[in-house]
């Protein structure tokens, strides 16, 4: 295994590419349930923020953040065309009837602002264990979806077909269909 700090910096691009791929899947209405091979229906939607970053080559970076509940994402796709990558995205994930909302950072996979379906926290102290187990179940469920999606992305990224098929579709989405 590589040194952790080196590996973090060298492969952080995979996290940012993954978020860009998620955006592509959402915009082109692909079947997330099928990709995940899940027994429960799973959908993703872009939430209320999206951040992109473009290395300008001279150690300076261009950062674009789009915020708002119904914000248009055209500036984001324009930035993609100029070579930017998605660094942070707010997502709404529906697993069956449950709704999860969170922001995920590409380089670290840190989750912020994560809202899971509500659990009943009005119980007595004796019921704390039940609350903890229920909450943990929800948290592990949504992190499991993210993990599986990322590993699916990596599987596709190293597949023989990637360059000629899915990568071309992503490029078409960025350059033609916007």
Residues near another protein (CB under 8 A) = 1-2, 4, 7-8, 10-15, 17-18, 20, 80-81, 83, 85, 106-116, 118-119, 121, 125, 128-129, 131-133, 135-136, 139-140, 143, 147, 150-151, 154, 157-158, 167, 170-171, 174-175
Cβ atoms 64, 86 nearer than 8 A: no
41 vs 61 by CB, closer to another protein: 61
What letters, b where the CB count within 10 A reaches 16 and e where it falls short, cover 124-158? eeeeeeeeeebeeebeebbeebbeebbebbeeeee
User: Encoding tokens for residue 73?
Assistant: 């994402």
CB of 96 to another protein, least distance (A): 20
Instruction: Please choose, from the candidates 151, 157, 40, the residue with its C-alpha nearest in 3D space to the C-alpha of residue 93.
Output: 40
92/119 with CB nearer another protein: 119
Please, which residues have CB within 8 angstroms of residue 58's CB and are 6 or more apart in sequence?
A: none
Cα angle for residues 109, 44, 159 (degrees, 5° grid): 65
Nearer of residues 30 and 167 to another protein, judged by Cβ:
167
Residue 41 or 82 with smaller CB distance to another protein: 82
Shortest Å distance, C-beta 7 to another protein: 4
Distance linking the first and last C-alpha atoms of the chain: 41
Instruction: Tell the smallest beta-carbon distance from residue 119 to another protein (Å).
Output: 8
CB of residue 41 to another protein, shortest distance in Å: 24
Q: How far is the CB of 49 from another protein (least distance, A)?
A: 15
């Amino acid at each position: 295994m590589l040194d952790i700090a080196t590996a973090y910096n060298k492969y952080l691009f995979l996290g940012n590419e993954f978020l860009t791929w998620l955006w592509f899947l959402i915009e082109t209405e692909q079947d997330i349930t099928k990709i995940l091979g899940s027994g429960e229906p799973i959908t993703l939607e872009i939430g209320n923020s999206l951040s992109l970053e473009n290395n300008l080559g001279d150690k300076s970076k261009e950062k674009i953040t789009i915020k708002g509940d119904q914000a248009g994402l055209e500036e984001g796709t324009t930035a993609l065309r100029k070579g930017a990558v998605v660094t942070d995205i707010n997502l709404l994930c529906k697993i069956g009837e449950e709704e999860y909302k969170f922001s995920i950072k590409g380089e670290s996979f840190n989750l912020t602002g994560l809202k899971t379906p509500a659990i009943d926290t009005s119980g007595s102290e004796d019921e704390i264990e039940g609350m903890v187990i229920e909450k943990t179940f929800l948290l592990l469920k949504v992190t499991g979806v993210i993990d599986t999606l990322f590993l699916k992305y990596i599987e596709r990224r190293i597949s023989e077909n990637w360059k000629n098929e899915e990568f071309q579709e992503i490029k078409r989405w960025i350059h033609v269909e916007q």
